Structure 1
């Protein structure tokens, strides 16, 4: 896994968006789409609770936006930075629209283990790595520098991080 200083800057932005989501009462997830020149093209945060729509994941919103605003060639060389590894729904959307590399702070396995420690409900879909859903995607993560912070955000203010 090779994560550059530029990758860390964009991942920092994704984690900051996760903090924004948590502060708004949504799940602590944030994501950023960056083009081949390193320019942020789209960013979003989780909006499940605030909208009542359980599909309002930032990675899914990125896929929707990219399908409309980027050419297939631009999508293929773009990178998505995200606080947590894509769920199966988001990994599939990413692959279907032809987005490129993914860099994530915390893996789905880590997040699943943390949630089990906290006694959180089991999610309604299987916890799978991105490459199990979309085997052709280049993936870098988890990035340990953000692990404790993401864990704390997901734990919320009343849980022990």
Structure 2
């Protein structure tokens, strides 16, 4: 389902992979996200911090949605893109729908992650994986990005090892 991505898109997605690796190294799930404006300038970034903080809602996507909602005006939010290593969970999808961020580009889908975790015998998610557009239908969504899926797959596989 990938559409044509620009070199800027790919640069931000590669940064998401770096942030996901940092999260994994710190004992968190391998997720990383970057918020960029319409011109492609990175405005903010974050990584998963749910285990290191003890807060299961400390997902980078929700952090960026909250930041955008409080720091950017409506027009800038509408032109902004969130790049992320994995498709948003329903909580983060809802945050993006409410924040008015216009576009999301993700590397691996929730369906892919669910299939991987099932294959590894890893635990199920506490929430049903839903496509972003089922939760936030007005957000433009691009993904999965097949060129980078194997890299995030490897990080998730490392996270699933006992």
Mapping of residues 1-161 of structure 1, within 5 Å: 1-156=3-158, 159=161
The runs of 5 or more residues in structure 1 that have no matched partner are none
The runs of 5 or more residues in structure 2 that have no matched partner are none
Is the contact made by 1:86 and 1:108 (CA closer than 8 Å) also made in structure 2? yes
Shift of 1:158: 7.3
Q: Normalising by structure 2, report the TM-score.
A: 0.95
Which whole-Å CA distance do the structure 2 matches of 1:136 and 1:64 have between them? 18
Shift of 1:5: 1.3
Is the contact made by 1:105 and 1:144 (CA closer than 8 Å) also made in structure 2? yes
Is the contact made by 1:2 and 1:140 (CA closer than 8 Å) also made in structure 2? no
Which whole-Å CA distance do the structure 2 matches of 1:48 and 1:54 have between them? 5
Which whole-Å CA distance do the structure 2 matches of 1:45 and 1:138 have between them? 22
Deviations 1:67-124 (A, max 9, x none): 1110011100000000000000000000101001100010110001000011111111
Q: Normalising by structure 1, report the TM-score.
A: 0.96
Which whole-Å CA distance do the structure 1 matches of 2:11 and 2:92 have between them? 22
SS in 2 for 1:56: coil
